[in-house]
Amino acid sequence: MSENKKVQPTEKTVLHPRNKHRERYDFKLLIAACPQLSKYVKNNAFGDESIDFAHPKAVKWLNKALLKQYYSVEYWDVPSGYLCPPIPGRVDYIHHIAQLLGDSNLGNTPVGNKIKCMDIGVGASCIYPIIGSKEYGWSFVGSEVDQIALESARKIISNNAFLSKNIELRFQENSSDIFHGVMERTEPIDVTICNPPFHQSAQEAQKGTLRKLSSLNKKKITTPVLNFGGQSNELWCEGGEVRFVRDMIRQSKQFSTNCFWFSTLISKKSHLPEIYDALKQAGVVDVKTIEMGQGTKVSRIVAWTFLNAAQQKKWKDTKWNTI
């Protein structure tokens, strides 16, 4: 082997220890699970098998193969132009949330379908409910403002029997509401998750896409091609991530006693001061910030609860520790 040959790391140590995708992708295994992937696999600069992550179809077929091989998903697809999420990062969110629940329960992670999660903006991919249902047996409520995305998620669920018994989808009629209309006040939700739109405008979203594609191709790209896709409500909203999450925090107070942990992804560290300020104004009891990493990108989960120690104990004794 040449002394100048680049060496690719064998393990993605920034991912959660339970994440099945810490090691390099085994493309022979993935192609066996999904033969259509083979046409997109080629050697990269390290001399290892990989795909062109700037190619939308390559990314979609990789996702299909990963979901089939590791999560028993026989059918999965998203409509053209909708977000095609990178699987390892989505898996990490679920494992960190499982650890958060476990840390709240003397290290015992609650599992089984009596644990109910709400995915705010389930998306066309239905990715978080798939991972959470398969890895921990949790049940999910997925909310969505986009009927096309909701129908796509419904098709994924109906074509995978193990999902149909654990996932319920709810249409959010009012895009200004985050919990009202999809969360019942008498419904105990153990945790909410959310990947909020993080750009403030379509123009900003396009610039972000161009930066990402330029990084993937190692050269400047001027024509946007969404390798991971994304509709307007998935990628941007008025006020961007900070506005959306501040609204989420404010509205979560209305459901303070029927949800143990609320959580959301936060893409930029610079957004945290405003998020913490909103949490303080809402009067939350506890806040957790969990850093996540994938490649060179670092994001974080912010989780909060309104339950005091006595309420938390009652929740755990009557729900988590009777499973």
The per-residue pLDDT for range 129-175, each reduced to its tens digit, is 999 999 999 999 999 999 999 999 999 999 999 999 999 999 999 99
Alpha-helical segments (H) within the chain: 27-33, 56-71, 87-103, 127-136, 147-158, 161-164, 202-217, 232-235, 240-252, 272-282, 309-318
Question: What's the pLDDT tens digit per position in 182-237?
Answer: 999 999 999 999 999 854 545 544 454 444 444 444 554 445 455 445 444 544 45
Query: Range with the lowest mean pLDDT among 88-92, 115-119, 206-210?
Result: 206-210
Domains, the chain: 79-322 (3.40.50.150)
| Contact predicate 289/307, CB 8 Å | no
For the entire predicted model, the pTM comes to: 0.86
Side-chain-side CA neighbours of 291 within 13 Å: the count stands at 6
pLDDT of residue 1: 41
Give yes or no for residue 12 having a pLDDT over 90. no
pLDDT of residue 8: 53
